Amino acid sequence: MHLFRYRSGELYAEEVPVKQLAEKYGTPLYIYSYNTLVRHLKAYSDAFNDYPHIICFAVKANSNTAILRLFAKNGGGADIVSGGELYVALKAGVPAKKIVYAGVGKTEYEIRFALKSKILMFNVESEAELREIDRIAGKMRTMAPVALRINPDIDPETHPYIATGLKKHKFGIPIEDALEHYRLASRLKNIKIIGVHKHIGSQITKISPFVDALKKILLLIDELSIQGVELKYLDAGGGLGISYRGEEPPVPKELARNLIPLLKNRKLTLIMEPGRSIAGNAGILVTRVLYLKKGAEKEFIIVDAGMNDLIRPSYYNAYHNVIPVLKKKREKVFCDVVGPICESSDFLARDRELKRLKQGEYLAVMSAGAYGFSMSSNYNSRPRAAEVIVKSKGHFLVRKRETYDDLIRNERIPVFLK
């Protein structure tokens, strides 16, 4: 559920007309619903309330510090995959002891930063990384808390680009090699083994992959216990999907109902890493119609938001519902909604039937709160969009729109070109 709804034919974000926000802050514009974000986070904390747990929001989904602060103030932690994400999470007030750090390519600088910050644990993805963390921790005269990310070879039945739990993927340690890697970790002087981690993908719309993966991990935990390795944390990852186009993914309560019985009588703290399922439907991208163009087979609605603002349609051929900010009785047209970028792949919607629009009207691209702004770029030298949070009747600018000066702020012209 989200709080973007029509009232008398006009789209509102909570208690504020979206048109009013577009006119005040300009377009393209990301708008987030505060109460939707809180509701979605609470759905997880309530669902897993009967079992010790930490909800670590996947920062890659949306790294705005205001949103991260919202989660921190409501008891949430952070799942990070870079030093930059660690920086913004800490700046937003996320407690270091609620931060877990995954990612296959951690640099020495990033590892040092995380050790100095005293994060909860590293989710280690390879033997080479494990040895490197041990080396760096030794130089810093500290112990590095780690979980090994285990690849359970489970098909999440999602888009191949966001599946991460099969043997062919770069992520994690194959489950058949897990015991060997835990033995190595137990021998390393500067490594403290505290957990196990698995994450099989994103936009998963069935319960069974989560259950199958957890069962495999629990068998591994039992084998480790026999060998004297007792774990404190089980990081079950994230990946629960949302509805973009009529999908009916399970809700957190259903996920908990299937996972918690498997965890009974175990002295483990469960870590969950939701991202999309919290932020996805809590945000929209608003764009203005620039031009209408008739093609040979269909019409083109040319808008001021492009693939640099929301790359998911171009990159994944992902579907986002596109709706008018003002509903009017008009004939329908068969069209593409396209942006200003110099690429044929620059589209927000293809082969849609939409009510005929006029130049200057606004469209809302729905379900854009996750992997929207966080994947945006300056391609074609376009400044990135502004971001706004709406809370009931209030609205707050949480990221200023970039300017042309921002595009060249960090560039330098060498002396020989002056």
**Is 45 domain-assigned?**
no
Greater model confidence, 2 or 109: 109
Amino acid 169: pLDDT:
61
Taking all residues of the chain, what is their mean pLDDT, rounded to a whole number? 94
Which residue, chain included where needed, has tokens 């060498």?
Answer: 414
- State whether 285 and 232 are in the same domain: no
pLDDT of 167 > 60? The answer is no
Among 245, 274, 303, identify where a domain stops.
274
Q: What is the CATH number of the domain that holds 224?
A: 3.20.20.10
Q: Are residues 383 and 350 in the same domain?
A: yes
Could you report the per-residue pLDDT of 90-109, keeping only the tens digit for each? 999 999 999 999 999 999 99
170 and 267 inside one domain: yes
Find the mean pLDDT for residues 69-98: 98
CATH number of domain containing 326: 2.40.37.10
* Backbone angle region of 317, left / alpha / beta, with phi > 0 → left and psi within -120 to 50 → alpha: left
Judge whether 264 lies within some domain: yes
Burial class (CB in 10 A: 0-12, 13-18, 19+), 364: buried
Regarding whether 244 and 125 lie in a shared domain, the answer is yes
Q: Looking at the structure, do residues 171 and 301 belong to the same domain, yes or no?
A: no
Q: Of the segments 156-160, 164-168, 331-335, which one has the largest average pLDDT value?
A: 331-335
- Place 186 in a pLDDT band, splitting at 50, 70 and 90: very high
Residues labelled catalytic: 342
Nearest by Cα to 301 from 348, 345, 342, 365:
348
Does 311 share its domain with 363?
A: yes
Average pLDDT over residues 260-280: 95
Find the domain containing 383 and state its range. 4-31+280-408
Q: How many domains does the chain have?
A: 2
Q: Is the pLDDT of residue 161 over 50?
A: no
Residue 44 domain-assigned? no
Q: Which of 221, 249, 274 is the last residue of a domain?
A: 274
Task: Say if 386 falls within a structural domain.
Answer: yes
Output the pTM of the full model. 0.94
Same domain, 27 and 128: no
Of 214, 244, 274, the last residue of a domain is: 274
Task: Please state, for a pLDDT cut of 90, what percent of the chain lies above it.
Answer: 89
219-253 pLDDT per residue, tens: 999 999 999 999 999 999 998 999 998 888 899 99
Q: Hey, which residues does 389 pair with through a beta bridge?
A: 32, 396
d(CA 365, CA 4): 11
Residues 228 and 292 in one domain: no
Tens digit of each residue's pLDDT (9 = 90 or more) over 316-338: 999 999 999 999 999 999 999 99
Examine the domain organization and report whether 238 and 302 are in the same domain.
no
